[in-house]
Every structure is written in structure tokens, then in C-alpha cells.
């Protein structure tokens, strides 16, 4: 576990905010007929124009700037030229490197109108992210975060992906500790000031079981049902979780009013 000084956290926040702005740009473009390859192109141009480096491109030989996962794809989908259609959902996971520090977060978007069943999955997955963030307080343990997410999701009967987890974040994209979206209270490493985490519930409408697609990257649900993914970057400052990323740029682009993140905005605001 690598604890960060405030100046380091500020740099992570700058990177996370650039990811946030990139996701906001994506929100303006997503509609039926658009391809994920088009989204990837404009995201990469935007990041480079802001004097940063795409954090995923070339990471373990990943070929693109964005991970784009549609419908039953959970995470790590490769952008392609297949047009999105009405009723799809698309998870966009983006990372940048700025001044040597990573930002990394994700949002699952609707393409046009979606079914009420899918709407409920998206709401529950996003809500579980904030439930997990609430548990990131000083002297709690990593297991408390996963337990909070799991307890909330169990109320809805969805599948929680277990093979893929959240993680520490800093000069490396994936740092200790791992942050599962399930677990037992009082288990795992103690949460201390200076810890920066990427918390990212990956929740399936049906089974929790997954497969690796033949492209060697894309993770898909075993039963072919949709999956949702939301991710934020959070630092522990003065014993409390401080959100470094934001969905505000997305909400602005979509014309949505939301104050769900306000309780996590103190130190930097």
C-alpha cells in the first residue's frame, strides 16, 4: 500500500479530472449510429491536446485509448467499427497520465432509450459505488468497502464480478491494495490517510460468471446478459473519502441535475 502526500494527490486529481472531462465529451457524442472507434479517436485527440498521455494505450499491449464495453461486455472491450443502436449500453473506461500520475475512471452510458430493467441495473451499480465510497474511512479495512457494495447489490439480486477488482492508484495504474466488490467486514488492509483508490463495481444483470472473449481482452458475461461498470478515484484525507474524479461533466452534457457526489467534495472545493 503506497500512501500519498497531498501534492501527489493533487496531481492524481488533475489526471482524474481530465478523464472526467473526456467522459463528458463522450456523453455529448454517444447516440445510435456512432461507433466506439470514433469515440476512441476523439478521446485520444482530446487527451493529447491537453498535454497528457492516454493511460491505457500500450498498457500490456492494449491497442486503444478507451476500453469500451457494450451490453454483455463487462470491461476491457476493444473499440470497433460496429455502430451503436438504440437500447444499447456502453461502458467507457478511460485513463490518462499527467505529470507522472494516473487518473482512471468509468461510466456506463445509455444509447437512446433503454428498458426499465437496464435502467434499474445502471442505477443500482452507480449507487453501489457511492455506498462503497462511504465505507472508505480511516481505520476501516478494505473488506468493509467490498462488504458495503456486496450487501447493497444483494438486495437487487444482481451478479457481482469477482475476478476483477478495484485497486490503488498513483504513479502506477494498478497499485496495492486490490479492492474487491465483495468481502467481509474487518478483513484486509487498514485504510489510512493518503490512500488513493479506484473503486469500480462491475455488476451483471444475471450470473456473476464471466468469460474471456476470443480477442484476448474483452470480458463478457457467461449468460449473455448486460453488465454495468462505474468507477471513481478517491483519496482518504483527514480521515474521510475525498472524490478526485467527477461525473459532473457527464451530467452537464446530458442535462442531468445530480448532487450525489457533494458529500465527497470538501478538501478541494
Q: Grid coordinates representing 259?
A: 448532487
Average pLDDT over residues 62-86: 97
Three-state helix/strand/coil letters over 25-57: HHHHHCCCCCEHHHHHHHHHHHHHHCCCEECCC
The answer to whether the beta carbons of residues 212 and 219 sit under 8 Å apart is yes
Q: What is the pTM of this model?
A: 0.96
Q: Distances in Å between the alpha carbon of 201 and those of 16, 42, 122, 127, 245?
A: 18, 26, 11, 10, 15
Q: Grid coordinates representing 143?
A: 473488506
Confidence of residue 257 (pLDDT cuts 50, 70, 90): confident
Cα angle 241, 2, 43 (rounded to 5 degrees) comes to: 70
To the nearest 10°, report the CA torsion of 69, 73, 77, 81: -70
Domain boundaries, given as residue ranges, for the chain: 6-264
The answer to whether the beta carbons of residues 79 and 217 sit under 8 Å apart is no
**Is 263 a residue whose pLDDT tops 90?**
no
pLDDT tens digits, residue range 139-175? Answer: 999 999 999 999 999 999 999 999 999 999 999 999 9
Write down the pLDDT at residue 265.
Answer: 87
The whole-angstrom separation of Cα 68 and Cα 44 is 13
Confidence of residue 269 (pLDDT cuts 50, 70, 90): confident
Look at residue 91 and give its three-state secondary structure. strand
pLDDT tens digits, residue range 23-45? Answer: 999 999 999 999 999 999 999 99
The CATH number of 6-264, from 3.30.67.10, 3.90.230.10, 3.40.50.300, 3.30.70.890, is: 3.90.230.10
Write down the pLDDT at residue 266.
Answer: 82
Amino acid at each position: 500500500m503506497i500512501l500519498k502526500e497531498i501534492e501527489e494527490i493533487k496531481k492524481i486529481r488533475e489526471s482524474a479530472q481530465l478523464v472526467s472531462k473526456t467522459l463528458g465529451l463522450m456523453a455529448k457524442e454517444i447516440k445510435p449510429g456512432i461507433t466506439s472507434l470514433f469515440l476512441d479517436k476523439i478521446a485520444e485527440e482530446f487527451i493529447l491536446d491537453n498535454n497528457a498521455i492516454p493511460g491505457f494505450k500500450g498498457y500490456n499491449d492494449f491497442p486503444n485509448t478507451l476500453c469500451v464495453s457494450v451490453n454483455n461486455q463487462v470491461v476491457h472491450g476493444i473499440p470497433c467499427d460496429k455502430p451503436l443502436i438504440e437500447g444499447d449500453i456502453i461502458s467507457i473506461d478511460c485513463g490518462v497520465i499527467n505529470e507522472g500520475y494516473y487518473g482512471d475512471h468509468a461510466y456506463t452510458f445509455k444509447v437512446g432509450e433503454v428498458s426499465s430493467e437496464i435502467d434499474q441495473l445502471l442505477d443500482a451499480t452507480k449507487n453501489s459505488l457511492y455506498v462503497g465510497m462511504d465505507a472508505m474511512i480511516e481505520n476501516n479495512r478494505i473488506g468493509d468497502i467490498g462488504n458495503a457494495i456486496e450487501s447493497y447489490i444483494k438486495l437487487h439480486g444482481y451478479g457481482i464480478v469477482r475476478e476483477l477488482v478495484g485497486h490503488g492508484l498513483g504513479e502506477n495504474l494498478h497499485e496495492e491494495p486490490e479492492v474487491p466488490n465483495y468481502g467481509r467486514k474487518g478483513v484486509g488492509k487498514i485504510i489510512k490517510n493518503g490512500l488513493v483508490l479506484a473503486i469500480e463495481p462491475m455488476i451483471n444483470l444475471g450470473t456473476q460468471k464471466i468469460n474471456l472473449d476470443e480477442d484476448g481482452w474483452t470480458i463478457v458475461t457467461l449468460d449473455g446478459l448486460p453488465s454495468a461498470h462505474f468507477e471513481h478515484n478517491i483519496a482518504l484525507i483527514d480521515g474521510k473519502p475525498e472524490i478526485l474524479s467527477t461525473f459532473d461533466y457527464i451530467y452537464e452534457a446530458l442535462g442531468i441535475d445530480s448532487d450525489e457526489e457533494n458529500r465527497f467534495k470538501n478538501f478541494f472545493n
